[in-house]
Structure 1
Amino acid sequence: MTTPAAVLFDFSGTLFRLEEDESWFTDLRVGDDEQIDGRFQAELMRRMTQPVGSVVTLDDDGHRAWEARDLDPAMHRAAYLAVLKASGVHRVEHAEALYDKVIDPSSWTPYPDTARVLQGLADRGVPVAVVSNIAFDLRAAFDLLGVHDTVAHYALSFEVGAVKPDAAIFRSAVDALGVDPASCLMVGDSEEADGGARALGMSFALLDPLPTSERPSALLDAVAAHGLALA
């Protein structure tokens, strides 16, 4: 097995996960002013973080925003406010408050081994890029974890102008790292989106976007399976 010359990671469901906090929903109501329960809280979070496919039925304007959501911050906001409205969150102030949590990097929880795998790769001299379909700047999440310096490059769809699985976003990352894509490993939670890296000859490791408490070592296991065992 050839050791990867660089590793690319997805963000949501791979390195970090958006996990609901009860305080986000204290004043939230759906339908006829009904307070939402824990099951529906989790469903809303799923709808706000699903990497591919539609999550609800939207009107034409909402659908156009959804299709462009990862390329433009305004479209991202419009798309997810439309998703929340279609999900029963009819009060604009409630939907906006929840959306603001989604785009706040401090709301995102790192997986237990995120810092360890990023620091371990940096210590071995293996460059890392984060490749994400996203329309807000997630770099602060890495700052808060104290690992921003371990990431050599961020290829974010709204900055690159391409959305996974388009090979262009992966190409922008490997070009920035100065490595041959065929020598790289891509790690992500979506076969459809992240698996697009295979089109450039990259290896691919698929992870399950489980709650952070249920996935203690999947990142370390994934890189170890490709020849990068980290202490």
Structure 2
Amino acid sequence: MTANGARDIEAVLFDFSGTLFRLEEHPSWFDGICGADGTPVDGAAAAELMRRMTAPVGETVEFDEQTRHAWRHRDLDPALHRRAYLHVLEQSGVTDPAQAESVYGRVIDADCWTPYPDTEAVLKLLAAESIRIGILSNIAFDIRPAFTDRNLHEYVDEFVLSFEVGQVKPNPEIFRHAVAALGVDPSVTLMVGDSAEADGAAREIGCSFALVDPVPTAERPDALLAALSAFGIR
């Protein structure tokens, strides 16, 4: 037990989107992109568009049977992911196919994602304490470059990505896969994520859970460090 009574933690699993990194629009992404009524997509409209595409659970636009299937299974298959997100863009007013493809290209470009201010610090802290680190994400593209290009990959022991393992959160099997890959017991594993529904399901197999808010990176300077501190990791 740690000094504050929390269980000793031997491994930490982190969600990616809204937890370690956030997809934050850059004004240049929407240069020349307009909605169906010809209004430029910028400011609040761009922010709402990004919210719809990064919501971890639920449905953010109207779907028919085929597009709903694609949305619900988007993190298992890159082709379904593309179909689902292009539909979200179309339903959000980006009806020009070339413009929609341009925005979608940003979504799946790992280098377009912004790390939270304390992402590097928490990874270094855990590595220094010999606490194993896993990235557990519902995602349909390879996020490793986001870490490699910032020299953060050396701190990560395992990447468990839904489209590679064939399971998505909140299915308990993806958490079992992750702890097995790290070689630890769930009872000494902490899951950190921005969704109580998806990430919090780690508790079903015996992991601890810490919730962080997926607000813009500038508004969340140290939530990851605080989450670890609550479990005696400082």
1:116 is matched with 121
Please report the RMSD computed on the Cα atoms of aligned residues, expressed in angstroms: 0.7
Asked if the contact 1:69–1:135 (Cα under 8 Å) also holds between the matched residues in 2, the reply is yes
Q: Determine if the alignment matches structure 1 residue 154 to structure 2 residue 163.
A: no
Which AA in structure 1 matches 2:102?
A
Which AA in structure 2 matches 1:169?
I
Query: 1 CA distance for matches of 2:208 and 2:53?
Result: 28
Q: Determine if the alignment matches structure 1 residue 177 to structure 2 residue 182.
A: yes
1:1-231 → structure 2 map (5 Å cutoff) = 1-229=6-234
Deviations 1:61-120 (A, max 9, x none): 211110110000000000000010011110000000000000001100000000110011
Q: State the TM-score, normalized to the length of structure 1.
A: 0.98
Query: 1 CA distance for matches of 2:197 and 2:51?
Result: 17
Query: Percent sequence identity over matched residues?
Result: 57
Query: 2 CA distance for matches of 1:147 and 1:51?
Result: 24
Which AA in structure 2 matches 1:181?
P
Task: Report the count of equivalent residues.
Answer: 229
Which AA in structure 2 matches 1:35?
P
Q: Secondary structure at the match of 2:149?
A: helix
Please list every run of 5 or more consecutive structure 1 residues that lacks an aligned counterpart in the other structure. Answer: none
Which AA in structure 2 matches 1:8?
L
Please list every run of 5 or more consecutive structure 2 residues that lacks an aligned counterpart in the other structure. Answer: 1-5
Query: 1 CA distance for matches of 2:31 and 2:17?
Result: 25
Structure 1 segments (4+ residues) deviating >4 Å: none
